[in-house]
Structures are given as structure tokens and as C-alpha cells.
Amino acid sequence: MTLLAERPVRESAPAAPKRRKRPVLPYLLIAPTLLTTAYLLLYPLVRNVVISLQEFGLPQLVRGDARFVGLANYARVLADPEFWAVVRRTLWFTAINVVLIMVLSTLVALLLIRLGKWLRLLVMGGLVLTWATPVIAATTVFQWLFQSRLGVVNWALVALGFEEYRDYTWFADGEATFGILVALIVWQSIPFAALSLYAAMITVPQELYESARIDGAGAWRVFTTITFPLLRPMFGLITCLEVIWVVKAFVQIWVISQGGPGQATTTLPVYAFQVAQSLQRYDLGAAVSMLMVLLLVLALLAYFRQLYRQEREA
């Protein structure tokens, strides 16, 4: 499928000679999409910008007479050390997650290629099962796995001889909660990345591998000189997508910890929501979320550049 390349479209009806006027039909057909997008996507986005430029708290929400304050909300957010702590945490959270996702997915994809048919189907089946697990169900299960008294993880750790994990309360400790969230997101993200990479890897011609092996190249060398360079665009695309998904991960964090304990797991989307919902400062929340959008746009631009390049090469 192509994004930007023009696909030749043939005139379907026998071309009438007098057909010079601009056809209306296509515009009628896309009108519902345009209207929907304008009202349900563009308008909320513009509204978010407007709110972020207003003084908008609970009174304004009720009475509706918000006044413009220019960039005051942004100035306040950007001057707040807490905001920068959240930004640093978000970047750190994203980096850990994406590196783990990409490394592990690559390993799984390389493993899939080398497996026999039955084992491969088994592993792929497992991955699809993980993929099919709804975020909320997975989040609830992880809470149960890491439960302090009856959780199976603590039981296993104690059985392995780590006595200090008896009744250990994971969710009371900031770093432990952070670690569980990383585990959860990586676990959920691997199927998509691994299966996409696997699908790309099987397109690499076998002869290339064979000749490399005849030349005596080891597995690592084959990967760095053949697989990775050939699939660089695919790696780029998936990395961009994962960055975007991890930065805006909200549900897992909100349900497990609401950003706590303390602020240990408050990332940008969680912070924006906390500020808006708990403090009822919708203006500041909107400003934070606009700053997050800015961060995401950078990742998106990288993504579209990759996509465009790949389309051109394809």
C-alpha cells in the first residue's frame, strides 16, 4: 500500500467528451469524514489551545466566562520544577521501555525465524494471545501477580530463596511500581513489534544469509551487516511508533498507581490529568497536554519521515 505515491486510477465510465466540469461526487463522499474530523478532532484540539490560554478553573467551567491570560499558564508550568521532574521522568520512562521493547522484540523475531514450524506457531500463538489481552485486563492481572500477600511473584521469589520478598508490598515503593509498569508495558508491546519485525525479516532473501555464512560470518555479524541495514526503515518506523505509544501511556499508570506513590510514576499525560482533575486547574492541565503534544509531534515528524522514505524506496 502506498501513502503518497499516486496510484493510477482509470476513469470508470466510458469517458464522455463533455466531462470538463469539476466532479462533485468525491467531495460529497468525503464530506462526512471532514465534518466529523472537524467537530470531534480539530475542535477539541483548538479548544485545548484556547483553554491553555485562559484562566480556566472550576468557576469558569460552571459559569463559562473565562478570560484570556496570554501565555501565563505556560509560563507558570515551565517555571515549575515539578513539571521538569515529570518531563525527565517521562523521557527516562520512555527510553527504558522503548530500548527494552526493541531489543527483546528483535531477539524474539530472530528466534521466530530460526524455529521449526510447530514451535514457531506456538510462540506466535502466545504472542497473539498477549496482543489480544485488553489493557485493562492485563493491568488488573499484573496487580494480582504482584499482590503482596497472595501474589504469585512474591511466592516465587521466596521459593527461590529471596526471603526479603515475603509479603513485600510492591506498590508502596516508587521504584518497584515504576518497574512493574515497565514490565507491563514491555509485555504488552512486544507482540506487535516482534511480529512486525518477523514479517519484515522473512522478506530478506535467503541467499544473502547463505553467502554470508559461507564467508564465515557469525550470527551477530549477519545481523549487523545484513538484517539490520536492510530493515533499517522498518526498525525506524516501529521505534517511532513505540516512542509515541509509551509517551502517551496513561491507562496502565492511572489504574495501577494514579502516578504514585508520591509522584514516582507521574508521566506527562498522568500529570496533565492530575492537574486538571484533582486541582481543577483545567488551564494548567491543557497547557501541560499541549506541551506533551509538542513532544509527540517531534516523534511523529520522525515517523512520517521514515514512512515517506520507505514509500519512496518501496
Distance (Å, rounded) from C-alpha 144 to C-alpha 129? 19
Structural contact between residues 170 and 176, judged by C-beta atoms closer than 8 angstroms: yes
| Least CB distance to other proteins at residue 75 (A) | 19
Distance, CA of 170 to CA of 149 (rounded, Å): 11
At its nearest, how many Å lie between other proteins and the CB of residue 238?
A: 7
Q: How far is the CB of 175 from other proteins (least distance, A)?
A: 21
Using CB under 8 A as the binding rule, the residues of this chain from 71 to 110 that contact other proteins are 108
150 binding other proteins? (CB under 8 A): yes
Smallest gap, in angstroms, from Cβ of residue 55 to other proteins? 14
Q: Which of the ranges 95-103, 111-119, 169-177, 203-211 carries the binding residues for other proteins, by CB under 8 A?
A: 111-119
Nearest approach, Cβ of residue 293 and other proteins (Å): 5
Q: What are the residues whose beta carbons fall under 8 Å from the beta carbon of 72, sequence distance 6 or more?
A: 55
- Does 168 help bind other proteins (rule: CB under 8 A)? no
Contact call for residue 143 and other proteins (CB under 8 A):
yes
Nearest Cα to 144, choosing from 135, 157, 154?
154
Q: Is 23 in the site for other proteins (CB under 8 A)?
A: yes
Beta carbon of residue 62, minimum distance to other proteins (angstroms, whole number): 9
How far apart (Å, rounded) are the C-alpha atoms in residues 145 and 33?
Answer: 43
| Residue 41 is a binding residue for other proteins (CB under 8 A) | yes
Asked whether 97 and 182 are in contact (CB, 8 A), the reply is yes
Size of the site for other proteins (CB under 8 A): 101
3-class DSSP state of 54: strand
Candidate segments 3-11, 78-86, 172-180, 203-211, binder of other proteins by CB under 8 A: 3-11
The yes or no reply on residue 301 touching other proteins (CB under 8 A) is no
CA nearest neighbour of 146 among 178, 176, 170, 182: 170
Instruction: Between 48 and 263, name the residue whose CB sits nearer to other proteins.
Output: 48
> Rounded distance, CA 211 to CA 148, Å?
54
Residue closer to other proteins by CB (options 60, 225) is: 60
Residue type, 22: R
Which residues are paired to 67 by β-bridges? 55
C-alpha cell of residue 111:
528466534
CB atoms within 10 A of CB 160: 9
CB of 33 to other proteins, least distance (A): 4
Choose between 217 and 300: whose C-beta lies nearer to other proteins: 300
Gap between the Cα atoms of 302 and 296, Å rounded = 10
Q: Fill in the amino acid letter for 53.
A: L
136 binds other proteins (CB under 8 A): yes
CB 168 within 8 A of CB 148: yes
- Binders in 184-243 for other proteins, by CB under 8 A: 187, 190-192, 195-196, 199, 234, 237-238, 241
40 contributes a contact to other proteins by CB under 8 A: yes
Residue 15 makes contact with other proteins by CB under 8 A: no
Q: Residue written as cell 509560563?
A: 75
For other proteins, which residue of 95, 122, 202, 298 counts as binding (CB under 8 A)?
Answer: 122
CA distance 132 to 145: 19
What's at 50, amino acid-wise?
V
Among 19, 21, 22, 67, binds other proteins (CB under 8 A): 22
Contacts (CB under 8 A) with other proteins, residues 240-269: 241, 244, 248, 250-251, 254-255, 269
- Binding status of residue 129 toward other proteins by CB under 8 A: yes
